[in-house]
Chain A
């Protein structure tokens, strides 16, 4: 019964996505490949959403929801071709059929016209218990339909795992092409699935170290556009930006405090790389470290009370922790002769960092309470780990096929994916907070 409209819808979606090229931002998209094992993932069916007669939704909502769920590593969406039936209304659902197909959960939905654009309704079922878990209706503009699909994926994810989903979050990253005078470095922000890439700033000189403000509205970064490293803070919606640090020497490693008021950074204006905090309201600059060794890569604890950083004061780069107002520092990294670029998991119980093992630089997660270090990656030059805001995954930079790409790994093991551009290098991912 739903066959004809579905076919029509698919054709129309295809036609639309062709014309959509003109709407797209010029930036190339990140392509995602799932690389992690899905064996432990829960089987789920996301049925193609029904569409009311004559309506043309700009995206395939169910396909986006499926892809979002698959990327978490916790779900294994059933291929559409294996579905025996494609219900889009509650009264057409027969959960016994779905239980025979071995899926734990079923998602159905419909897209209907609304004065704003579209009204998308969705229902989630527990196939074995035989009941509906939740049902929601979302109103969406045409341009907001991808975002609406991500919200549905997050809704399903949260209902089934008890944890907030990250399908609606974004990723900032650096891309570069060429070298020497042909160098072109760009800071971009894209949706967590690689779509909607937007250029934030682009330069013929290096750009480094993007860092999100806790409200997800601003990015701090290091740019060499004036032939020296300087720290900028840029508002994403307006493009307005402010030069916040341009002292003699290096100006690097910006990191927003959890309340968004202070920016930790590394400056070498006093002759040596030291960690400072800049209060962005009062403009007060406070120096936190005082050591002839390198002190850099500050990262705040989620409660804002302490800062972890990289220092080679003990002879090799290691992770130390100190009060956010400075003072004595204790080493927290345990194993290895190189540990750097640490950042806290959102719950503060562990830190992700770069660690060298047998000459290879890999991503590790250190459980700070139990003192256990676990490797998350297996490359030789992996770097720049960044936790998803729900703590479930870590995104990092790696080299694949001789090119810089991004990879994400599930913290619990299992799920993984690779994000690459068709050309050029991609590096320094920074996962956004939950958007407010």
Chain B
């Protein structure tokens, strides 16, 4: 895929803020930088792991976009879904239009539409459901004039919850697509 997987440190800080506003400082979003992306390799203990893993992605502070400004309409970047559904609820159309308008006038800007689910149901089904949610958002944004190259989708399924609880209060916050600049 193209370069939309790059994340800025500033957007990460912002996400931390969003999580804080939601009353939860716990689970930060997936892209929080870790010095080395870590995958250690295989092993029966006596063998030398020869698998080299992804080189650490360099994450540098970059220009903070308007989506980091709490007074900007772009600040709201999460679209929530009903259980086992990838349908866009009418109340999120305005949010998506706002982002589509911005992207339409900033065609160098790229986003990743990151789909998530709650923990209910099977893991691979949820990986597919997260993908469909991200795809639903992508289609609306396309219809609103965003160029295909400006968007990538990424599903984490149920693997990256923002809320750890086993209850509806947590589940509703985990069923989401985040527009990641």
Contacts and interface: CB of A to CB of B under 8 A. Distances in A.
The number of chain A residues touching the other chain, given as a range, is: 35 or more
Contacts of A104: none
A271 B142 CA distance: 14
A201 B39 contact: yes
A223 B155 CA distance: 12
Nearest to B153: A249
B155 A237 contact: no
B131 A273 contact: yes
B42 A205 contact: no
A227 interface: yes
A209 B156 CA distance: 13
B127 A199 contact: no
Contacts of B5: 227-228
A264 B95 CA distance: 38
Contacts, number: 175
B153 A296 contact: no
B166 A381 contact: yes
A354 interface: yes
B1 A228 contact: yes
B34 A237 contact: no
A257 to B, nearest CB: 18
A238 interface: yes
Which of B37, B121, B123, B152 has the most CB atoms of chain A within a 10 A radius of its CB? B123
A361 B28 contact: no
Interface in A306-358: 310, 312, 316-317, 338, 340-341, 354, 356
Contacts of A294: 125, 128-129, 132
A386 interface: no
B51 interface: yes
Contacts of B130: 250
A280 interface: no
Contacts of A273: 128, 131-132
A202 B124 contact: no
Contacts of A316: 84
A361 B124 contact: no
B107 interface: no
Give chain B's interface secondary structure class.
loop
Given A225-B38, A225-B54, A198 B121 contact: no
Given A198-B45, A228-B154, A236-B44, A297 B28 contact: no
B159 A317 contact: no
Contacts of B121: 317, 338, 340, 354, 356, 361
Contact of B41 (A239, A295, A399): A239
Given A180-B27, A200-B42, A201-B42, A296 B125 contact: yes
B51 A239 contact: yes
Interface residues of B, number: 54
Contacts of A115: none
A239 B44 contact: yes
A383 B53 contact: no
B131 to A, nearest CB: 5
B51 A199 contact: no
Nearest to A247: B1
A252 interface: yes
A369 interface: no
Interface centre among B121, B130, B161 (most CB of A within 10 A): B121
A82 to B, nearest CB: 39
Contacts of A297: 122, 124-125
A378 to B, nearest CB: 16
B69 interface: no
B130 to A, nearest CB: 8
Contacts of A310: 122, 124-125
B153 to A, nearest CB: 6
Which of B27, B32, B120, B159 has the most A CB atoms < 10 Å from its CB?
B159
What 8 pairs across the A-B complex have the smallest Cβ distances? Answer: A239-B42, A180-B28, A181-B32, A206-B159, A273-B128, A340-B122, A341-B122, A225-B39
Given A223-B39, A228-B154, A356-B121, 10 more contacts: A181-B28, A181-B33, A200-B42, A203-B38, A226-B54, A227-B30, A239-B44, A252-B127, A317-B122, A361-B121
Interface of B: 1, 5, 26-34, 37-45, 47-51, 53-54, 57, 84, 119-125, 127-132, 135, 152-157, 159-161, 164, 166
8 contacts: A206-B156, A227-B31, A238-B47, A241-B51, A268-B155, A271-B135, A340-B122, A428-B123
